[in-house]
Structure formats: structure tokens, C-alpha cells
Amino acid sequence: MSAQSTPFKLEKQGHVAWLIMNRPEKINAMTESFFRGLGENFKALDEDPEVRVVVIKGEGKHFTSGLDLFEAASLVSDDSAAGRETLRLKIIQAQESFSALERCRKPVIGAAHNRCVGGGVDLMCACDIRMASKDAIFTVMETRLAMIADLGTLQRLPHIVGHGMARELAFTGRDFTADEALSMGFITHICPDSDALFKKAGDLAEEIASCPPMAVQGTKETMIHARDKGVYPSLEYVAQKNASAIFCEDMTEAVTAFMEKRKPVYKGR
């Protein structure tokens, strides 16, 4: 595989990792190697003690065109029972690669510019924080292709924008702009262009990375637990989590630094 068509490149700046979709010549279309690389990268980032926040963006003019339909066509050409089972397993593998963003304990910021189609919306839905440039256009495309979105949008989007709006977007497959995405709560920031977007994402990532990493990671885990399990089970979950982590080294440092009126230095312990 040539360097040009490598699905991702990874850059680290201090405690922030930038995972960059790197097939601009194919509008960062998602292939089997993309899904495999996404899962592998997030597993490694989760295990890297120096990484505290991850930003994911697209190289080139667009965020992503979603699933590579040329590759996908070859996967649905076998109508046999064995072929259908192979397809089912590949869908599950792709689902797992997107769920890796949620399983990663580090906060993930999605920064989308220009086109964000189909699987791109699935990817953004799996991020903790989403932002976009003014020219961003989002589309839950699958319905218009006689498909059911199967990588997480139908499961995650209702929790982000509400069930009614999620159903409208999924049933119609219509485009929605960055302004509309902001108004419905899908994104939290709009930037004038991609350069401003990436700066904003980097600044926010640095701000989050400056906080105690164990507390940030525990907060992410607790919020996902609350979404999936409900309020009262999650209250018990966070009570146990805090009881086990109280007076950790980072907490002692936070209190000491506050009293000494200095900037704290956190070690993730």
C-alpha cells in the first residue's frame, strides 16, 4: 500500500493525539482497512499513558464521503448463505471499530469540514465532542441507498439530537448544514473554515488535557454508563468509582496547587 493511500496518519502534540483520515484522493472513503486501522489506533491510544485527548479529522477538502461503495459492492455480490454470513461478520467488525471511540477512555473530539456523509455521521456520533467548519454538510445517506444505517447513527444520534430529529434525518436522508447541526445540538462549535476549526479543536483538546486525566476519563465512563444504564444505576456506579479513587495523587496535587496558587502538574495517578 502506498503512503498516499494509508487510511490514517497519527500525530502527537504533547498530550493530544491527532488521528487523521488520510485518503484525500478518495475523499477519505471507508474501506475494510479503514475499519481495521480505526480500531487498532484507538486501542493503542487508549493504552498510551501520554495521550489524554484524541482529535479525529480528515485530510484534504472533505471530512469523509463515508463507505467506499466500490469495495462494498464486492462484498454484497455473493448471495449465498456463506456470503451473507461473511457480510454480517464484516458489519460487526466495522461496528466494533466505531465503538472503539467510546471504549477509549480518552475524550475524542470530531472535527468535520465540508462533506460528512453516511459513515462519517456514524463516526461523529461516536465522538464525545463534535465541531465543524461553516461549510460542513452532514448526511445520513443510507436510506437513500436502500440501506439501513448500521454503524451506530441510529443508536447514538437520538441521544444527541433527540428521537424526533434523529428519525427525520434518518428517514429522509436529507442534508443538514453546520448551522442546523449546531441548533439541534449535534455539534457544539462552528468555525469559519477548516484552519479555524482545527485550531479550535486543538485548543479545546489542550484545555481538556490540562485537567486531571483520571478524573476526565472517569467522567467520560460515567456519562456513557448513565446513557446506557440510566440515572440511578449510574449514581451508584460513580459513587463506587469516586470512593475507590479518593485521595489519589492527582487529587492531592489539585488541592495543594490550589492552596499554593500555582498551576498543577498531573501524572494520571
Measured between its terminal Cα atoms, the distance across the chain in Å is 40
Q: What is the mean pLDDT of residues 115-129?
A: 98
Tens digits of per-residue pLDDT, 172-225?
999 999 999 999 999 999 999 999 999 999 999 999 999 999 999 999 999 999
The full set of domains in the chain, from first to last, is 3-209 (3.90.226.10), 213-260 (no CATH)
57: which 3 cell numbers? 479529522
Q: Residue 185's closest CA among 205, 207, 163, 201?
A: 163
pLDDT attached to residue 132: 99
Which pTM was predicted? 0.92
In the predicted structure, residue 89 carries a pLDDT above the cut 70: yes
Q: Is 215 exposed, middle or buried (0-12, 13-18, 19+ CB in 10 A)?
A: middle
Tens digits of per-residue pLDDT, 34-52?
999 999 999 999 999 999 9
